[in-house]
Structure 1
């Protein structure tokens, strides 16, 4: 029964994470915390390892849809990597209650704010210094401009938060990309998963070296995540952009409640 539950948890987390570009850790971490009496570091490390597998599955699907901004994604990932290493090292040191509640409040604010973004804006927060024009597999062209320096700073902290709690940096990166960097929602979710794939690899290795990954549970969670990532990415491609924003908002609110409850 435990194996079936773990597979189901991995599939659900990966499916929801792929649709919203969050990675799924916001579902997996609270469930594992309720299922087992284990150190937070083990929960974070195991969730991060599954997140890596989920990101592989989702990124492959998004690549076929041609919705990944590879240049931006690589830059974000490079900025995330040092944060991922620092987050893995810091796990278990920071006071959990204060951080969980603070992050939960922040996610609530992001969930609300993202719904009020001017729909016709093509320029992100601060003076744009990068412009992108991307043609996806459906023939739709996406054009947007943003400040890469601001994006890189955010990505560093995203990498830190993702590795520290194993919740998936997309819960911060995707809203930031949509709200402050003017990314179209579909491009934001796909590019976020690509960035998470690269940074999650480093985070997983860091956690594994520190002995934070429960490999016996990881195997079953990963099996579910592989299936969920493919399904989620395909479902996301058929959902209108505004619906992606709505799904993202709901996911952020769920994450916020779970984190504050955990705190």
Structure 2
């Protein structure tokens, strides 16, 4: 019973923090399970986390859809590119050793955190001309106008799908900086769009991990209720927070988690 309540709390924390910054919560679940269950194989850590992320992303995507902050065109195309990568990542996770898993995961997260903390006020100048122009109004009447280079998003989405499925983290920690720094997305639109992309790619990734028997379903049943409730809370909180604050919260989360993971590795 104590284990169930503990996992429920982890799911709740992951749901709130994950949907708040568009990561999906895997960056909380994977380290938490790794420290609580040290004998759990990396592939099972990733698979169990992905199954939880599927539940969390359903919940938070629903809220973001009601807020009308999802760029559906971008999310669907990016997800289509990330799905092949997620399949390869899930298969590759079977062969990853624990030390490599934790140290690599930590290095990647701390790199992304530093990019966000020292993020320039304006998007990085990209040498390719935008191929897509977007303009829409959310449920509050706020207008968003931006343009981006679709091929860049497609290529990076494939790599993100691989890394997300390999580590069980959802991909938002890679995709949101890409959207905001290289593709000129507003942070609020990037977070909402990232959650839909996570949901779509998590369906495939979770299915592959399930076929490979990499999912502990008891843990998923304990994590999922908290993740679903937390996803609702986090998505509603994100609506009220300034864009710059969202990115700082994301960076701080990534630094703490990355240090803990590298120490374990």
TM-score normalised by the chain length of structure 2: 0.94
Indicate whether 1:230 and 2:222 are aligned.
no
**C-alpha displacement at 1:121, in angstroms?**
4.9
Q: CA deviation at 1:39?
A: 1.3
CA contact (8 A) 1:105 1:256 kept: yes
Q: 1:259 to 1:156 in 2, by over 3 A?
A: farther
Corresponding position of 2:262: 260
Q: Would you say how many aligned residue pairs link Structure 1 and Structure 2?
A: 263
- Within 2, Cα distance between the matches of 1:246 and 1:151? 23
For residue 7 of structure 1, what is the aligned residue in structure 2? 8
1:164 aligns to what?
A: 166
- Taking the TM superposition and a 5 Å limit, the aligned residue runs for 1:1-263 are 1-36=2-37, 37-121=39-123, 126-263=128-265
CA RMSD of aligned residues (A): 1.7
CA distance in structure 1 between the partners assigned to 2:46 and 2:196 by the alignment: 20
Q: Distance in 2 between matches of 1:45 and 1:214?
A: 8
In 1, Cα distance between the equivalents of 2:148 and 2:126? 5
Per-residue CA deviation, residues 169-191 of structure 1 (Å, 9 max, x unaligned), is 11111111111111100000000
Q: Which structure 1 segments of 5+ residues have no match?
A: none
Name the CA distance, whole Å, in 1 between partners of 2:168 and 2:264: 14
d(CA) in 2 for partners of 1:29, 1:125: 36
Contact 1:125 1:147 in 2 (8 A): no
Structure 1 pair 102/210, CA: closer, same or farther in 2 (3 Å)? Answer: closer
Does the CA-based 8 Å contact 2:105-2:261 persist in structure 1? yes
Q: Report the CA distance between 1:96 and its aligned residue.
A: 4.2
Superposed CA offset, 1:138-170 (max 9, x none)? 111111111111111111111111111112211
Counterpart-to-counterpart distance in 2, 1:251 and 1:182: 23
**What are the ranges of 5 or more consecutive residues in structure 2 without an aligned counterpart?**
none
Mark the CA change 1:123 to 1:71 in structure 2 (over 3 Å): closer, same or farther. Answer: farther
Question: Residues of 2 paired with 1:99 and 1:40: CA distance?
Answer: 7
